[in-house]
Structure 1
Amino acid sequence: MSSRRPVIVALCAIGLAGLAAYAWYANQPRSTPADTQAAVEAPVVVEVARVERRAMADDVTAVGSLVSNESVVLRPEVAGRISRIAFRDGEAVRRGDVLVELDAAVQRAELQQAQANLTLAEANFRRSEDLFARKFVSQSSRDNARAELEVARAGVALARARLARMQLRAPFDGVVGIRSVSPGDYVKDGDALINLEDIARLKVDFRLPELYLDRVKPGQTLELLSDVLPGASFAARVDAIDPLVDAQGRAVRLRASLANPEGRLRPGVFVRVRLILAERPEVLVVPETALVPAPGNVQFVYRVLDGKAQRVDVRTGMRRETMVEIVDGLDAGAEVVTAGQLKLRDGAPVSVLQAAVAGAA
């Protein structure tokens, strides 16, 4: 009997342990299949927006620099001493205005001498004509007198041209720059005296990749933006396309023009150019936040249909500010998820925020 006692004690201990385990299991809360399914399929709260139709322009952007409509650096054709400066720095001048005069005392004396020679030659020619009519002189004498008259006239024209070269006149309407010479300075022929800029109208030079060559043409409109005037935009028009494509950069050079009556822009300013290639009145667009990137350079969106998220692969086009063109995959009016995509899967139930829907509408 004593030999069986340890076995009986062990069996009793095992039985008590089993009863304790059963009691613990029976007291645990049970989860039903319906509860499990409800936990897995809980709706994901998302924000949505509708696919809209908007007008959108096909365009291309570039950078360029503003250039004066006309620009010249005035230089004297002859050496001399400056006798008068007839403008103020930065002043607007008209075509033909005298800007700089050189000392022309010698040239004026030469003109007076040439005019005196012309007066004498005219008198000699008239006398020769009278004598020739009365048969007192030969034909050759009359011809010599006529030749001397023509030489005297040419001498006057030459003296006047030399005198005119002592004045530098504005070749067009514009604004003069800041001079670096003063009256009394001796200048040589070819020295730069002052620059003259026509800024009432400006040109902008920029370059585009050669792949746009068949889509650009004179007359197209473009928009200019400059950091000099933040928030302001200026309209311009393409005037010319360089027939030569740059072989190094594979780019074509274009020149556009724009009015600048108030002088707000100046030559040399850096500008950003937006060239409008074509206008499209109805384009399907969605917010950028609706796009989800996928491996393989693929993009998709989640469309809300019957309270569930449906994955739709899309093909995108142009981008404007925060909107993206949808080329293929969606129709106008469809609702797409714009926030909450990270928690979604294809076919998952969704709960749309009413505030987001009202804002999208």
Structure 2
Amino acid sequence: MPELAPPPEDRPRWRRPVVLAVAALLCLGLALWWQLRAARPPLVAVETMTPGPVTRVLAVNGKIAPRARVAIRAAVGDVVQDVEVEAGDVVPAGAVLARLDLRHQAAVLRQAEAALAQAVILQAQAAADFGRNRDLGAQVAQVTLDDARRSLAGAAQEVAGRAALRDQARVVLDRYTLRAPVAGTVLTRAVDPGQRVDTATTLFTLADLARLRVETDVDETYALQIAPGQRVRLLLLGSAETRMGTVETVAPRVDPDTGGLAVKIGFDAPVRAPVGLTVTANVVIDSRTALTVPRTALTGGAVFVLRAGRAVATPVRVIDWPAERLIVTAGLAPGDRVITDSTGLHDGQILREEGK
């Protein structure tokens, strides 16, 4: 017969209750730890209020612009024959920029000059007739002399009229040549030879790049805060150098379409930069010694001051401004300990200060 396997040994019956007891103690300890942890007051960061120098700055973006800009259009419509300049060329006043096809107008001028020459000849003949009749004296009837005088006057008027037509033709012919009205740099060229142009299209833009400034718009919210004479820190895009400037002009009206107030800022020192380059302008609106709080400390017109381990809601007045810190004008005093972040706090809440 095969041998029977020996019966299994009896395991101690006390092990299972011990395991259950240990697990229960662990759960109880974890629950107690969590309860004690939850009962501990939250940690908060605190700032002690101390007066200090504060500069209120309005940051806006603007563009480099010339002080003087001239848009040049054709005075007559015709086909462009030649273009003498490129964008970026520096030209003196009177320099030729382009010429239109002037053949038709040149013919008009020649006709006017020929008509004037003919009128001058007729005037000379009338003058000779009048002189001859006048010299004959009594031998010539008075009516004949009067006719000669009228003929001479009419010939003189004809000459004057033909001369005016000739001058007008010259003026029109000169309009077929586009010249620079002022010295400057050609900013834009929008025409090529062979192109037909009209009198409404800007063909060239000239500007004086020796004296540049910054043009920007300020939101109407801050229209009462900005004024000529305020100092400005200017940072050109792509440059690490901060340049100083001054608000020169502020528009007298807000643009109803954009809600912006046009502001022009001059540089203290000449600067070389392309027109249209973006510039960050920090306008110094106000400088004073004052208390300030982080914007995150403010909630509903109040901040929380930590007193005896509790959050005390304290109403304050601040200058609302697009900045991370706000100037406090009432409600706080030096030495007050303000909680820097009011999120989730309530009046009377028990708190712990970080680092304590």
Query: Does the CA contact (< 8 Å) of 2:184 and 2:206 recur in 1?
Result: yes
1:104 to 102, 105, 125: 102
Give the 3 Å change call, closer, same or farther, for CA 65–46 of structure 1 in structure 2. Answer: closer
Instruction: Spell out, residue by residue over 1:265-303, the C-alpha distance to the aligned partner (whole angstroms, 9 max, x if none).
Output: 423x55555555x534333335x39x6455x45213447
TM-superposed deviation, 1:90: 1.8
Residue 70 of structure 1 deviates from its aligned partner by 1.9
- The correspondence for 2:302, drawn from 291, 295, 298, is 298
Deviation at 1:202, TM superposition (A): 4.7
Cα distance in 2, alignment partners of residues 340 and 168 from structure 1? 66
Q: Which moved more, 1:229-238 or 1:89-98?
A: 229-238
Work out which of the residue numbers 190, 204, 207 in structure 2 matches 1:198: 207
2:50 aligned residue: 51
Tell me which residue corresponds to 1:282: 289
- Once residues 275 and 99 of structure 2 are traced to their aligned partners in structure 1, the CA distance between those partners, rounded to angstroms, is 28
**Of 326, 329, 339, which residue of structure 1 is paired with 2:328?**
326
Q: How do 1:201-212 and structure 2 match up within 5 A? A: 201-202=212-213, 204-209=215-220, 212=222
1-structure distance, mates of 2:324, 2:270: 34
Give the equivalent residue in structure 1 for 2:71. Answer: 72
Deviations 1:59-81 (CA, angstroms, capped at 9, x unpaired): 55555556554252544623135
| SS across alignment from 1:140 | helix
Q: What code does the residue aligned with 1:92 have?
A: V
Aligned amino acid, residue 215 of structure 2: V
* 8 Å Cα contact 1:47-1:352 kept in structure 2: no
The correspondence for 2:85, drawn from 78, 87, 90, is 87
Q: Does 1:256 align with 2:270?
A: no
Structure with higher strand content: 1
Gapped regions of structure 1 (runs ≥ 5): 1-43, 354-361
- Number of residue pairs aligned between Structure 1 and Structure 2: 298
In 1, Cα distance between equivalents of 2:234 and 2:75: 37
- Whole-angstrom distance in 1 between the partners of 2:238 and 2:170: 47
Identify unmatched segments of 5+ residues in structure 2.
1-42, 136-144
CA distance in 2, matches of 1:174, 1:142: 52
Detail structure 1 runs of 4+ shifted over 6 Å in the superposition.
44-47, 337-343, 345-353
Q: How many angstroms apart in 2 are the aligned matches of 1:337 and 1:242? A: 42
Moved more, 165-174 or 46-55: 46-55
Q: TM-score, normalised by structure 1?
A: 0.60
Q: Matched residues, percent identical?
A: 19
Q: Provide the rounded CA distance (Å) in 2 between the counterparts of 1:149 and 1:217.
A: 62
1:239 counterpart = 2:249: yes
SS in 2 for 1:96: coil
Gap change, CA 1:241 and 1:49, over 3 Å in 2? same
- Coordinate RMSD, CA, aligned: 4.9
Closer, same or farther in 2 for the Cα pair 1:261/1:108, shift >3 Å?
farther
Q: Check 1:212–1:320 CA distance in 2 against 1; reply closer, same or farther (3 A cut).
A: closer
TM-score after normalising by structure 2: 0.61
Residue 147 of structure 1 and its aligned partner are, at CA, apart by: 0.8
Deviations 1:188-208 (A, max 9, x none): 434857431426335625252
> What letter matches 1:284 in structure 2?
L
Question: Residue 86 of structure 2 aligns to a residue in which SS?
Answer: coil
Alpha-carbon shift at residue 221 of structure 1 (Å): 5.6
Q: 2:47 and 2:224 mapped to 1: Cα distance?
A: 40
